[in-house]
Structure 1
Amino acid sequence: MIPEKSPWLKFDYVLLFTTLCLIVYGLLLISSATTLPPGQAWPFWDNPVTKQVVYAAMGLILMVLVAVVDYRVLGSSPAGRALFPGAREEEFETVGLVLHHEQYSPHPRLRERFDLGHFLAAMAEGLLNPFYLINLGLLVLVLLVGQSTLGARRWIDLKLFPLQPSELAKFLMIIALARFLAANQEQIGHFVYLAGSLFLVGIPIILIFREPDLGTAVILLVVWLGMAVVAGARLRHIAIVGLVGLLSSPLLWFFFLSAYQKRRLFTFLNPQADPLGDGYNVIQSLISVGAGGWFGRGLGSGTQSQLHFLRIQHTDFIFSVLAEELGFVGALFLFSLFIVVLMRGVRIASSASDSFGQLLASGAVVLFLFQVWLNVGMNIGLLPVTGVPLPFISAGGSSLLSMLMIQGLLESVAVHRRRRDIVSRDTVIQALEYAP
């Protein structure tokens, strides 16, 4: 048996350093976007920069706590113990290590369990997953007692700070989906299991849609899609789901989209139709992006943000502030940091020692990539305004906490991965012999 390295030697410090750079970059932009006129000053604890620093400190602590916990603890399955009641904990890990390796085919005893009883048990375990139940509880709670702002009920007042459950749902659903897909990876080629995973993510999506928060709902749907592909879902089954969704889009338009969401879609198609109303932010954002040129007007010198033509510039439209004040070069630097995060995430996913770790890391990568694309596309007029924050850059406590905890998942997979070649197939078969 080859000795394991110290876990902290496998900590991805490049990912950590890049994340810290993004947070600092975001603080600089938030400071510039929230500058008050001469003679005015923010109260210390009301200053958006102060709040973001506090959230960043809390988030980094949570990230380290998530990272030091072996991610396999998050994926421990009672169903696995029912299948192999005599096996020890290390042998469950051994099974996961070897089945992940492409040169091994599943043991026949695993392939036989493709019946209705197995599916119902898998769904019951998915629905009773503690991470899933916590997620549903918070999403229901915000609809009942949440604060209503601009027609949206998205925040729970915790007195110390407002909590946005839809942001926390990103972290919790990555874990819940990874558990379900990893536990049923050999069955995911059957359409009913793919539909079951969609059902699991569909309930939170509907609750988030009711807030309403269309952007986060779409993000969770895309995360499900990416994780299902990684888990081995058949493309024709995914195409069927897409076709059903496309055919159902008229129902979504007439019965589910609110009036203001429809206006946002019309505004996306023609912002000039309502330049002082729904199209105002889109127009001002495009002006900001176009005014930056190569090097920008200088940090704190943008006319659109400093003169407050651009609204909510420190949250949804912070990329427009960056483009105007730091120009193309500043945006290119930001994208370079984003690319490093994505590359490290892909590296962690590809080197994960089991399917659960691979799915956790893949979900984190898909979420990060799609959320960046959604926010930047919104700022440059290529996508409708959805209110999705730019990861690590936009002001917002719940978003920053959620993204840092997701980074913690990546670090946990990196820290606790094990070599795949230290366990033989014979060891796995021996573990399976414990089954009756």
Structure 2
Amino acid sequence: MEYLKYKSNLFKIKENEFSLLDYLLIIVVIILMILGLLTLRSVVKDTSQQSRFIKQLVWDIVGIAAMIYIIFEKEARIKAYAKYLYAISVVLLVLVLIFGKTVYGARRWIDIGAFDLQPSEIFKFAVVLMMATIFSQYHKTKALILSVMTLLPAGLIFLEPDLGMTLLMAFIWFSMLLASDVEKKYILVIIVLGLVSIPFAFFFLLEDYQRVRILALFNPEEHFQEGAYNVIMSRSVIANGGVYGTGYGLGTGTNMHIVPMQHTDFIFSAFAEQFGLIGSLILVGLYGIILLAGLLQIGRYKDDFWEFVVIGVSSIFAFHVFENVGMNLGILPVTGIPLPFISYGGTSTVVFSALIGLLIKARAVSKKARQVM
């Protein structure tokens, strides 16, 4: 009996109770990080950017620490700190427009000496918690109004400019809105207004290079020198990988460094060339585990707050994977969206890890979610 009692306590730490799937999620994250490091190493070798490998390794370790911290932080504190984290992230979005470092025409990072902080990534994490708070505490019209007000600072991200992250914020909000009790007639109106506003946004709100990237999606050859070069090179490198891949470190296109920004936006092309279609499907399958781990338990979480948190986290990973892989394949516009745990990036890696921490925390505090495992 003492042995059984001890064994059961391994799965109970304070308010948490873990299932095998929760441990599997941590393993999946570590595998993705390892694959990301291997791919990054192949991209930066024989270049002046080899230090990025060590930097990313450090960020992966910090990310794992952040994930563990979120898992074991008290549930009450996570809920209580949501509004403060949201306020801090909004302040940072304002500061980046004033003091931010400009890279490739975009002001998205704040130089803090040893690293560059990307406030929009922190806002992404904070907005999930804030939206979950709103939709779980308020209902119908009031919840709709408050959620729209919460989303307004995303306009600051658009001004950086960062179209991809702005679209992500809208996607997070809309995904959580669909799961709320807001009347469907209002959601229908929002959809209609969104569709009607697309032509206006295209001609009057987007930067010239953003419009070219969208046009290049339909006629890449015509915009080869402007917005389609990265995509055409990326597709060529992916095609070179075939079904089985060229083998690690043997990617001709990757070794020749013909794809710009291959360490960030287009790192999937390097992975696909070396590991082929089979490796790419395995990679997508790993992301699928993350999504299924959260969404299959919908309706069984402890309360509405955690239900909405899981929906928000799942929408983030779904958007990032779908958009990044899509733009690498040339079927979606280039928006600068990174591939979780694979693309090089400090703030994004830590935030993705913290989001996984929220997903595991939601499961760990929800008895019903554990019972079905």
Q: TM-score, normalised by structure 1?
A: 0.78
Per the alignment, residue 309 of structure 2 pairs with 360
Q: Structure 1 residue 72: deviation in Å?
A: 3.6
Q: Structure 1 residue 419: deviation in Å?
A: 5.2
Give the alignment's Cα RMSD to 1 decimal. Answer: 2.1
Per the alignment, residue 385 of structure 1 pairs with 334
Per the alignment, residue 60 of structure 2 pairs with 56
Is 1:264 equivalent to 2:268 in the alignment?
no
User: Counterpart of 1:162 in structure 2: which amino acid?
Assistant: D
Is 1:198 equivalent to 2:152 in the alignment?
no
Q: Is the 8 A contact 2:127 2:150 kept in 1?
A: no
Per the alignment, residue 162 of structure 1 pairs with 116
Q: Structure 1 residue 319: deviation in Å?
A: 0.9
Per the alignment, residue 406 of structure 1 pairs with 355
5 Å matches for 1:3-402?
Answer: 6-7=12-13, 9-10=17-18, 12-36=22-46, 47-76=51-80, 129-184=83-138, 187-188=139-140, 190=141, 193-201=143-151, 203-402=152-351
Distance 2:120 2:110 in 1: 11
User: Counterpart of 1:16 in structure 2: which amino acid?
Assistant: I
Q: Structure 1 residue 139: deviation in Å?
A: 0.5
Distance 1:30 1:350 in 2: 39
Distance 1:317 1:376 in 2: 8
Q: Is the 8 A contact 1:10 1:414 kept in 2?
A: yes
Give the secondary-structure state (helix, strand or coil) at the position aligned to 1:342. Answer: helix
Distance 1:52 1:346 in 2: 29
Distance 1:339 1:233 in 2: 29
Q: How many residues align?
A: 357
Runs (5+) with no aligned partner, structure 1: 78-125, 421-436
Distance 2:46 2:298 in 1: 44
Distance 2:227 2:177 in 1: 36
Give the secondary-structure state (helix, strand or coil) at the position aligned to 1:374. Answer: helix
Question: What CA deviation, in whole Å up to 9, does each residue of 1:191-232 have, x standing for no partner?
Answer: x5324312311x222010000010011111111111112223
Distance 1:274 1:252 in 2: 21
Question: What CA deviation, in whole Å up to 9, does each residue of 1:5-63 have, x standing for no partner?
Answer: 723541610111111111111111111111116xxx76xxx611111110011111111
Distance 2:131 2:125 in 1: 10
User: Counterpart of 1:6 in structure 2: which amino acid?
Assistant: K
Question: What CA deviation, in whole Å up to 9, does each residue of 1:357-409 have, x standing for no partner?
Answer: 11111110111111100101111111000000001111111110110011111
User: Counterpart of 1:165 in structure 2: which amino acid?
Assistant: P
Give the secondary-structure state (helix, strand or coil) at the position aligned to 1:271. Answer: coil
Give the secondary-structure state (helix, strand or coil) at the position aligned to 2:186. Answer: helix
Give the secondary-structure state (helix, strand or coil) at the position aligned to 2:224. Answer: coil
Q: Is the 8 A contact 1:71 1:357 kept in 2?
A: no
Q: Is the 8 A contact 2:212 2:226 kept in 1?
A: no
Distance 1:277 1:309 in 2: 16
Q: Is the 8 A contact 1:348 1:410 kept in 2?
A: no
User: Counterpart of 1:48 in structure 2: which amino acid?
Assistant: R
User: Counterpart of 1:20 in structure 2: which amino acid?
Assistant: I
Q: Is the 8 A contact 1:291 1:324 kept in 2?
A: yes
User: Counterpart of 1:241 in structure 2: which amino acid?
Assistant: I
Distance 2:39 2:75 in 1: 34
Distance 1:262 1:57 in 2: 38
- Percent identity over the alignment is 34
Give the secondary-structure state (helix, strand or coil) at the position aligned to 2:334. Answer: coil
Q: Structure 1 residue 351: deviation in Å?
A: 2.9
Distance 1:320 1:211 in 2: 27
Runs (5+) with no aligned partner, structure 2: 1-7
Distance 1:349 1:158 in 2: 39
User: Counterpart of 2:130 in structure 1: which amino acid?
Assistant: A
